[in-house]
Chains A and B, each alone.
Chain A
Amino acid sequence: MKSTAFQQTITLVKKDILLELRQKYALYGVLLYIISTVFVINLMIGKPEEKTWNALFWVVQLFVSVNAIAKSFLQESRGRLLYFYSLVHPRNFIIAKLIYNILLMAIMSVITLVCCILFMGNPIVNFPYFVGVIMLGGLSLSLLFTMLAAIAAQANQNAALMAIMGFPIILPLLTMLSNIARSSFNIVFQPGLPKMFLMLGAMDILIVGLSLILFPFLWKD
């Protein structure tokens, strides 16, 4: 039975969510990871001031996203990937992975935020703005790392490789995000703020476009 691209994508997203709910391994694993990381920070420097808080928050986010998203391709066995290859177009497959990882990162971002507030105090003044920024940040991080995870999965399922490839690319994104987030700690006028949002959005669109064009080439095995 031939199904449309949209239906295929939705089914694949559902399949990923179902697998996650059955195993619950990734969710709890990463949860533990977040809590222990933030707790270690708390033991070492207690309650940091807002600038440090912001920097630490984004570093924690970075490592959480690497861990959460590396799994999305590494968990698929070769046989299963081959099976999907015979069923769906690679573009639908990567879209499904992107959507699933965005959802996963949105949940993880909220958990990180709650943990950071619990263990490191709450210097945030403009709360809704900050939540918006971390959602945007989670979106950007998950888009980029999904593509990198797809590359790393092809290169002998090597998770360390993902960090090597990913960190330089994520650097400008993280700098932009932490700059944007700075506005939520004190009410100041930041020149060039809309421009930074625009740049971030443009980067995201660039990454999605590249993933859609390049992923089919990765999958020809």
Chain B
Amino acid sequence: MAKHWWKALAVILLIYTIIAGFTIDIPIIGTNQQSSRGLFFHVPMWMCMYTMFSISVANSLLYLTKYDLKRDALAGAAGSVGVFFGVLGFSTGTLWATYTWGGTITGDAKQQLTAVALLIYMAYLVLRMSIPDIDKRARISAVFNIFAFALLIPLTYIIPRMVDSLHPGAAGSPTFASKDTDGGMKAVLYPAFIGWVLLSVWIYTLVVRYKKLELKNIFK
């Protein structure tokens, strides 16, 4: 059981996140009221998405150097888990935006560009489905995956830094402003990051195990 300790850690951290996230005292700022608690669930989703997409692109790069079909299966699995977490992040964000910004889809640059980035990754998944030949699929989707990742970074990291955003802590920083976040919230947020990322890795390993059963002749 020695190698499963991180799964237990994920469960403990997430239980802590959910219980503490809904019960601790948080500063009430204007119309935000209690909705600031969304921070513990919305922001970690993006961490999970970036983790998964990084795993995916790393495997694609490795595929193009060695042409090992296992790498392609890993890249595909990470891509789909990443899109899953991206959709969760987007929906928690839009839910919050509906009540605080006064509109589900606003003109906010970060929201729009994230939607674009998610669409690119969905195109990646569709591309994978559209090619029946397994070697061809591996090669073409690896190329597209690298292309997608190279666009993900400017879309979600560089351009949002250059324009104003409705996001909290915006006007300069695309992430939340760590300097003016309440200490109590930080005590929940940082464990939440670790817990959610561990959960995403856990889901990823499960998807990979399913793929291994599906592609028995590749994973010997």
Quick check: A168 and B119 within 8 Å, CB to CB? yes
Say whether A79 faces chain B, with CB atoms less than 8 Å apart: no
What separation, in Å, do the CA atoms of A147 and B150 have in the docked complex? 14
Residues in B with CB closer than 8 Å to A220 are 139
Say whether A172 faces chain B, with CB atoms less than 8 Å apart: yes
Say whether A3 faces chain B, with CB atoms less than 8 Å apart: no
Other-chain residue from B136, B146, B155 in contact with A155 (beta carbon distance below 8 A): B136
What separation, in Å, do the CA atoms of A200 and B140 have in the docked complex? 26
- A contact face: mostly helix, strand, loop, or mixed: helix
Given contacts A151-B140, A154-B136, are A161 and B146 in contact (CB under 8 A)? no
Residues in B with CB closer than 8 Å to A172 are 113, 116, 155, 159
Say whether A193 faces chain B, with CB atoms less than 8 Å apart: no
What separation, in Å, do the CA atoms of A64 and B134 have in the docked complex? 33
Say whether B123 faces chain A, with CB atoms less than 8 Å apart: yes
What separation, in Å, do the CA atoms of A164 and B159 have in the docked complex? 23
Instruction: List the A residue with the shortest CB-CB distance to B121.
Output: A168
Q: B170: shortest Cβ distance to chain A, in Å?
A: 15
Say whether B172 faces chain A, with CB atoms less than 8 Å apart: no
Other-chain residue from B113, B143, B155 in contact with A151 (beta carbon distance below 8 A): B143
Other-chain residue from B116, B126, B130, B154 in contact with A206 (beta carbon distance below 8 A): B154
Q: 8 Å CB contacts to B: which residues of A139-163?
A: 147, 151, 154-156, 158, 161
What separation, in Å, do the CA atoms of A155 and B120 have in the docked complex? 17
Quick check: B139 and A217 within 8 Å, CB to CB? yes
What separation, in Å, do the CA atoms of A165 and B141 have in the docked complex? 11
Quick check: A199 and B159 within 8 Å, CB to CB? yes
**Interchain Cβ contacts within 8 Å, total number:** 65
Quick check: B146 and A214 within 8 Å, CB to CB? yes
Q: Mark A148-192, 1 if CB is under 8 A from B, else 0.
A: 000100111010010011011101100000000000000000001
Residues in B with CB closer than 8 Å to A147 are 147
Given contacts A151-B143, A210-B147, are A199 and B162 in contact (CB under 8 A)? yes
Say whether B16 faces chain A, with CB atoms less than 8 Å apart: no
Quick check: B127 and A165 within 8 Å, CB to CB? yes
Given contacts A155-B136, A156-B130, A214-B146, are A165 and B123 in contact (CB under 8 A)? yes
Q: Which residues of A contact B (CB under 8 A)?
A: 147, 151, 154-156, 158, 161, 164-165, 167-169, 171-172, 192, 195, 199, 202-203, 206, 210, 214, 217-218, 220-221
Q: Which residues of B contact A (CB under 8 A)?
A: 64, 113, 116, 119-120, 122-123, 126-127, 130-131, 136, 139-140, 142-144, 146-147, 150-151, 154-155, 159, 162-163
19 CB contacts below 8 A, A to B, read: A147-B147, A151-B144, A154-B136, A155-B127, A155-B130, A155-B140, A161-B126, A164-B123, A168-B123, A169-B123, A171-B116, A172-B159, A195-B162, A202-B154, A203-B154, A206-B154, A214-B147, A218-B140, A218-B143
